[in-house]
Amino acid sequence: MSRLVRMDRTGHTTLAEWRAEDPEAVEAAVEAFRAELDRGYFAMVSTGEGHAEQVKELPVDADLVILRLPISGG
Amino acid sequence: MEGAAGVLPETAAVHWRPRADARRLRRRGNLWTLTTVAHVVPFVAAGVVLFLVQPLAVAVSLASFAHAWVIPELYAARGANVVRPRARAGAAAEHTALGLLGDLVGHEARAVHAGTGLVPERGRLGVWLVGEAGALLVCGRRVHCFCVRVDDPNLPSADRIAHLLLALRADEEGFATVANLSFSGARWRLRRRMPRSMRPAMAAAVALDRV
């Protein structure tokens, strides 16, 4: 089961869960994904130990997609 | 504006900054050292000359030496401040966030975080110690202190770290470009200014740097 989670004030919130072979769940996840990107979140997937990648389309095969807010110099 | 693939999008907000790399970081580190020397030498020289000219003014000489000692210490304290713990969110939120952060890092990093609040992360530029509102980059005997944060101060501590960690992993040089350098100097000088509970993280980073 793949998950789309958003890091927020509650710790994190699971916005969608899907299996690649379930088109309805994938469609719902894609909609949730786009809505969060429109709100200014960046979507990240881990690509191996110590590596991550920003994605602009929902990677349906990824186990975990994490939404993060922008960072800036303090 | 669309950024290049693999480039941290936040770098667009600091487009005037040259992209950080190992050579630029070394140069900035050397400039910090030069600046420190420029602060210290005049005070030491003034103290010595004053004492030679008028030994009765030894109190003024000592004050001058104290300035020479305090100024680098103040800079180091400013560097250590970037990893000082911030206000906590509610216990439930912290616990939930900690679970996600734990999924992102290995066992050793989890153990270091549990003891110190900092997450060690090996990068191409050196070994990072990622905190809630900043990160330290350990490169041999030098440490660069970066002030960098997620734009929501109400996030749980572990989530703030996870935000920085994911950005760092996506584009290390972009991360170092976006972050503000608040200190660069000797590891020993910074370590003394870190909260005592965080000092083992520095030892873990040094060990990782030597592997």
| DSSP SS3 for B154 | coil
pLDDT value at residue B4: 63
| DSSP SS3 for B125 | coil
Q: Strand pairing partners for A2? A: A18
Nearest-angstrom CA–CA distance, B129 and B112: 10
Backbone angles phi, psi at B130, to 5 degrees: -95, 125
Contacts of A5 in chain B (CB under 8 A): 100
pLDDT (tens digit, 9 = 90+) per residue, A46-65? 998 899 999 999 999 999 99
pLDDT (tens digit, 9 = 90+) per residue, A24-44? 999 999 999 999 999 999 999
Q: Return the residue matching tokens 């379930």.
A: A22
* ipTM given for this complex: 0.94
Nearest-angstrom CA–CA distance, B53 and B61: 11
Rounded to 5°, the CA angle B9-B10-B12 comes to 80
Cβ-defined contact of A7 to B100 (cutoff 8 Å) = yes
Of B82, B96, B134, which has the smallest distance from its Cβ to A10's Cβ?
B96
How close A35 comes to chain B (CA, Å)? 18
pLDDT value at residue B88: 77
Q: pTM for this structure?
A: 0.92
pLDDT tens for chain B, 211 residues long, are 445 668 999 999 999 999 999 999 999 999 999 999 999 999 999 999 999 999 999 999 999 999 999 999 999 999 999 999 887 778 899 999 999 999 999 999 999 999 999 999 999 999 999 999 999 999 999 999 999 999 888 899 999 999 999 999 999 999 999 999 999 999 999 999 999 999 999 999 999 988 7
Nearest-angstrom CA–CA distance, B50 and B166: 54
Of A11, A51, A73, which has the smallest distance from its Cβ to B159's Cβ?
A11
pLDDT value at residue B2: 46
H or E segment and range at residue B115: helix B107-116
Backbone angles phi, psi at B72, to 5 degrees: -65, -30
